[in-house]
């Protein structure tokens, strides 16, 4: 778990400005620390240097755009993340071991291999996705959160500890949410960044609170076993989104947990994808 308020503030800043040119000095100054001291703090807490983290976020988020924005040119996407076309190709290949062109050609096939369980993925049809997706305007959600960098497979353990820690804040109106930042078909499954959250009143005085921004979302209503959640996500990204009339925007997606049967591991969740 990433517990430092300052490190989380730095991560939020990087995530919010990933499509800009940002420097280590800028991040340290944003958190009111010297470059040297804050760089040490960041490495201890995350296992990565600030520079490595910035570069990885840019390479993986731009790769995600290559995946879902198939009509956009590689040059346009590279410019969005502060790279010239040639510099982007070099940096991209260093990180992904593929050129951007090779990545775009192969990502569909890679998405069909579930990284969490040893099984293939059968994507849904466009019509099947449409039956489960509604376009909704969601409200803002003030939440308590804890941030993790690691494998989504550890979620059940983290959720148990989280609910026990904050049980006094749970009411009949409480929603449990998970905010995700990475696509595990692109990001190493042990490097994924995610927040587990629960809604609280805006008046909550705890430090580890933030506002999940509402607005326009494509909401995929999932009802099935946990092992099929990856398939649902990949169906949204590879089938529905590229063929819809919508573009994903700069906000990050999240899940709203509606119902969980711990015996059968059947879940009802709303997968909320931000769209323009």
Please state which of the ranges 194-203, 233-242, 258-267 shows the lowest mean pLDDT. Answer: 258-267
CB atoms within 10 A of CB 147: 20
Query: Does residue 68 belong to any structural domain of this protein?
Result: yes
Query: 154-206, pLDDT tens digit by residue?
Result: 888 899 999 999 999 999 999 999 999 999 999 999 999 999 999 999 999 99
| Helix, strand or coil, per DSSP, at residue 177 | strand
The model's pLDDT over 72-94, given as tens digits with 9 standing for 90+, comes to 999 999 999 999 988 999 999 99
Residue 99 has pLDDT above 80, yes or no: yes
Cα 4 to Cα 14: distance, rounded to the nearest angstrom: 15
Higher per-residue pLDDT: 142 or 21: 142
Asked whether residue 116 is assigned to any structural domain, the reply reads no
Separation CA 67–CA 59 (nearest Å) = 12
124-145: pLDDT as tens digits: 999 999 999 999 999 999 999 9
| Cβ-contact 192, 182 below 8 angstroms | yes
Q: Is residue 93 part of a domain?
A: yes
Q: Report the predicted TM-score, pTM, of the whole model to 2 decimal places.
A: 0.94
What CA–CA distance (Å, rounded) separates 77 from 95? 16
CATH number at 211 reads: 3.20.80.10
Same domain assignment for residues 98 and 136: no
120 forms beta bridges with: 113
Range of the domain at 138: 130-274
**Mean per-residue pLDDT over the chain, rounded:** 94
The CATH number given to whatever domain includes residue 65 is 1.10.10.60
Q: How many secondary structure helices (H) and strands (E) does the chain include? A: 11, 8
């Amino acid at each position: 778990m990433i517990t430092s308020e300052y490190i989380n503030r730095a991560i939020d800043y990087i995530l919010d400005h990933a499509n800009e040119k940002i420097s280590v000095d800028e991040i340290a100054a944003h958190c009111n620390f010297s470059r040297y001291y804050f760089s040490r703090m960041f490495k201890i807490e995350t296992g990565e240097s600030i520079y490595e983290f910035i570069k990885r976020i840019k390479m993986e988020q731009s790769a995600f755009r290559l995946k879902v924005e198939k009509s956009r040119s590689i040059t346009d996407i590279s410019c969005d993340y502060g790279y010239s076309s040639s510099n982007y190709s070099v940096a991209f290949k260093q990180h992904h071991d593929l050129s951007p062109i090779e990545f775009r050609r192969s990502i569909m096939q890679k998405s069909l291999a579930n990284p969490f369980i040893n099984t293939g993925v059968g994507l849904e049809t466009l019509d099947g996705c449409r039956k489960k997706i509604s376009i909704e305007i969601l409200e803002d959600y003030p939440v308590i959160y804890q941030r993790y960098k690691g494998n989504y497979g550890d979620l059940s353990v983290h959720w148990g500890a989280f609910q026990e820690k904050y049980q006094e804040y749970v009411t009949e109106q409480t929603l449990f949410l998970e905010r995700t930042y990475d696509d595990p078909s692109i990001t190493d499954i042990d490097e994924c960044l995610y927040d587990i959250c629960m809604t609280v009143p805006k008046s909550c005085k705890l430090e580890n609170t933030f506002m999940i921004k509402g607005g326009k979302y494509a909401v995929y209503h999932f009802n099935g076993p946990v092992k099929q959640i990856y398939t649902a996500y990949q169906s949204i990204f590879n089938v529905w989104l590229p063929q819809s009339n919508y573009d994903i925007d700069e906000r990050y997606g999240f899940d709203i947990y509606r119902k969980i049967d711990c015996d059968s591991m059947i879940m009802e969740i709303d997968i909320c994808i931000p769209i323009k």
